[in-house]
Structure 1
Amino acid sequence: MTSPVIHRVTSLDLAVRPIAWPFAEERRVEIAAHFAEMQRERPKLWNGRVLMGRDPVFADGHFAATYFETDFASFLAWRDWGFPDTAVFNGFGMGALRTSDGAFVMGEMAHHTSNAGRIYFPSGTPDLDDVRDGMLDIPGSVVREIAEETGLTADDYAAETDWHCVVSGRAIAMIQVLNLDMPGDEARAQIEANLAREAEPELSAIHLVREMSDFLPTMPRFVTAFIAQQFASR
């Protein structure tokens, strides 16, 4: 497997356009059957509208791409069937919460989610709520996902300016470091308290990564590659 490539950029230029996706149209019956099977295993899955990318370009410290709307069922089928259309990618924002004592805070996805058991930074596939004036607002998406998954708001952290775009196969994770003014154990306790107040939280556990020996097999390679680079530069 090819190692992830990390591009550090200062700006994101992600236009949303009305583009038809041949994969979703031509394999509609198969996609519907696949999603129905997944819903039998995880009844909480919802076939909402999401955004996927194409034509990614990294140049002069900038990342540009075009996004289009599709349904979550088509996205899941594309992912689960080994990315049969290589012209598109899954491009999403991630908030890398870093505590005052240098630990990264990661969440373990709950059983009812489509990524159950996986451990990574708060994130989510962009959707129509993330569109502003025809552009995909990844910074806004990160703030929303952090709040939904951890209960933390933009007042709880200071966002760094740059983005670390980790390219891994057909995924591009746009990661922004968010610095918390509290140590790791306190941050974990606060997030766990927030989760305890929810009837059905997206996260089932909170993990602190202080060094590479804390990596677990359920942490995606693109996430551990980013953290390893951060540790190497400190």
Structure 2
Amino acid sequence: MSFNLPANVILPVDSIDVRLDPAPHPFERDNAEAIAAGWLEHQAGNPALFDGTMVLLSSLTYDRGVLAGVCHEVRYSTFLHWRRHPQTPGAHHAFAHAMPVSGDGALVAIRMAPHTLNAGKVYFAAGSFEPIDFVDGQVDMHRNMAREVMEETGLDLDAAVPEARHHLISTPGGVVIFRRYRFSQSADEIAAQVQAHIAADPEPEISEAVLIRDASTHPAGMMSYMPALVGWHFASA
């Protein structure tokens, strides 16, 4: 089991081969009692949390543009326990960020709603990989990104033009795999569409669209890795 990615460095990704292993994740198997106890604590603090399914990595390697890994289906409670012990050997997390770029060059991020685990945090609409994001056992990045962006913002990634290449940055909280999607609408038009989606959702996951128009814009609540992504975007736009 290996994780060889350098920390806090943006790397280009030309090929992704991350597969779903049907075997139980050793981290979940070996920490079942602690996971159950931790879930009771989380539920006491936020009864809205749901112990659904997602995936957790057992290996992830990067070599000359090729990202390869193995993950296993776990419960959300297992992921929350991992967040308390992120240095555990043989377990790591990855998630995908679609970076919506407006026709006038702004980035469209979101602020998470008060009832969510990341309440008030600002980043790009995203969610952990789930078994549904795998096709014939292999992860489909666009499938995950499109699903999460639609659920949270109402934006259709299939109406945007994707950049050919993915990139990644490895952080203590997980590996962020990201890709720019360029929309024809202006930033204000996209923000209005997102706000309409929020208003129509009885339990929205986000509270607002956050427009980032230049590299110096760092909204309150921005996730720690976001300045690196924002700086990279405006340096290479």
1:74 aligns with 2:78: yes
Distance 1:73 1:51 in 2: 11
Within 2, Cα distance between the matches of 1:92 and 1:164? Answer: 12
Q: Classify 1:17/1:100 alpha carbon distance in 2 versus 1 (closer, same or farther; 3 Å).
A: same
Tell me the TM-score normalised to structure 2 length: 0.92
Question: Normalised by the size of structure 1, how large is the TM-score?
Answer: 0.93
Question: Which whole-Å CA distance do the structure 1 matches of 2:201 and 2:191 have between them?
Answer: 16
Structure 2 distance, partners of 1:151, 1:193, is: 9
State the SS of the aligned residue for 1:214: coil
Structure 1 CA distance for aligned equivalents of residues 63 and 203 of structure 2:
42
Moved more, 223-232 or 23-32: 23-32
Structure 2 counterpart SS, 1:89: coil
Corresponding residue for residue 225 of structure 1: 228
Give the alignment of 1:37-56 within 5 angstroms: 37-56=41-60
Secondary structure of the residue aligned to 2:210 is strand
Who is 1:165 aligned against? 168
What number of residue pairs does the alignment pair up?
232
Moved >6 Å (runs of 4+): none
Contact 1:108 1:207 in 2 (8 A): yes
What letter is aligned with 2:119?
A
Is the aligned partner of 1:132 residue 2:135? Answer: yes
* 2:153 is the alignment partner of 1:150: yes
Percent identity for Structure 1 against Structure 2:
30
Give the one of 193, 197, 218 matched to 1:194: 197
Gaps of 5+ in 1: none
| Counterpart among 57, 61, 64 of residue 61 in structure 2 | 57
Deviation of 1:163 after TM superposition, in Å, equals 0.4
Q: Tell me the SS of whatever aligns to 2:10.
A: strand
Asked whether the 8 Å contact 1:166–1:174 carries over to 2, the reply is yes
Contact 1:86 1:170 in 2 (8 A): no
Alpha-carbon offset, residue 154 of structure 1: 3.0
Aligned 1:75-154 pairs, distance under 5 A? 75-79=79-83, 81-154=84-157
- Cα deviation for residue 210 of structure 1 reads 1.0
- 2:20 is matched with which residue? 16
C-alpha root-mean-square deviation of aligned residues, in Å? 1.7
Amino acid at match of 1:114: L
